[in-house]
Amino acid sequence: MSSLEPLEELTAQIRSSPKYRHVCIEIIRNLGSRELQKTGSLKKAIKATRKKLHQIAGAYFLTRPKYEEWMRKLRDAKKTGCPETFRKVCIEIMKHHHSTNMRLKNIDEFYNALFSKLPPIRSIADVACGFHPLAIPWMRSSSTRYYAFDIYEDLMEFLKGFMSLAGVEGHAEARDIMQNPPQVKVNLAFILNTIPVLEQIEKGAGIRLLNTVKADYKVVSFPVKSLGGKDKGMRGYYESFFQRMPQKHWDFWKLETANELVYVIKSLK
Ligand SMILES: C[S@@+](CC[C@H](N)C(=O)[O-])C[C@H]1O[C@@H](n2cnc3c(N)ncnc32)[C@H](O)[C@@H]1O
């Protein structure tokens, strides 16, 4: 019989599995306490928390990350002094995460279309970033500070090393952005494919985050296909979801892309 409180026991058990060893405690406690309340059973709550973690995060990894090997490749590429070689390694790595992988086909067009419409960007926040900071070499910005947040501690360590190689002043922090959204004020915030994920934890949490992040411009995106690649009418669903949001202090435009529904929001406050 364990002497731990149920939530501590649940957190310890989840962190003992290789898949979730690097997930920050904050998000496990957030999900775990909801499941304990719902099910009233430790065993069921552990199972349900694992399932939720898979839905909101684990399912997006296409392979198990090899951060040490990837960092070696990035360092070698950097040493060549050839930006194209460095970018090629970034692309190789982005292929391993579903969300960045689906942007790769049109990566040049995506960031050209975005940054050509923006004023000079000097600070960026990337919330629930996944592997997206690996696209920094495509972002047209000067002397940028980049703040990256996700729930994986090992990913954040990797991104710190990456951002230093990419020549930006980088900050990467493992945290649950739902309970602890970033407070930093930036020129541009990426909230890519994140709102639907937070809405899976709690209805309204995605929109709350969107309103809390402090940025002159926010790039918000929604998936238009399921993780399995099926078209289930998601574009129409998220278009009307976005249109229904109260937009008193925004101006916005849409970026046309095949695989993602993307809005750029300009804050009018
Ligand atoms: C669909 S992926 C999007 C990744 C990235 N924004 C992109 O579009 O390339 C969702 C990401 O959200 C992260 N995530 C889920 N819930 C989170 C939370 N509460 N706090 C921080 N990150 C979270 C997951 O780990 C995963 O990397």
190-209 confidence digits (pLDDT tens):
999 999 999 999 999 999 99
Residue nearest to atom 13 of ligand 1 (CA): 128
pTM: 0.96
Domain-by-domain residue ranges, the chain? 6-56, 93-267
CATH 1.10.8 fits 6-56, yes or no: yes
Pocket test residue of 51, 151, 191 for ligand 1, highest count of atoms within 8 A of CB: 151
Tell how far the Cα of 202 is from the centroid of ligand 1, in angstroms.
15
Q: Taking the domain 93-267, which CATH number applies?
A: 3.40.50.150
pLDDT for position 261: 96
Tell how far the Cα of 110 is from the centroid of ligand 1, in angstroms.
20
Pocket test residue of 22, 155, 190, 197 for ligand 1, highest count of atoms within 8 A of CB: 197
pLDDT for position 95: 98
Cα–Cα distances in angstroms (integers) from residue 99 to residues 18, 26, 61, 224, 256, in the given order? 22, 23, 9, 11, 16
Segments of the chain scoring below 70 in pLDDT: 1-3, 142, 248
pLDDT for position 246: 77
Residue nearest to atom 1 of ligand 1 (CA): 193
pLDDT for position 142: 65
pLDDT for position 251: 92
Beta carbon of 99 within 6 Å of any ligand 1 atom: yes
pLDDT for position 259: 86
Tell how far the Cα of 130 is from the centroid of ligand 1, in angstroms.
6
Report the alpha-carbon distance of residue 117 to residue 260 in Å, rounded. Answer: 18
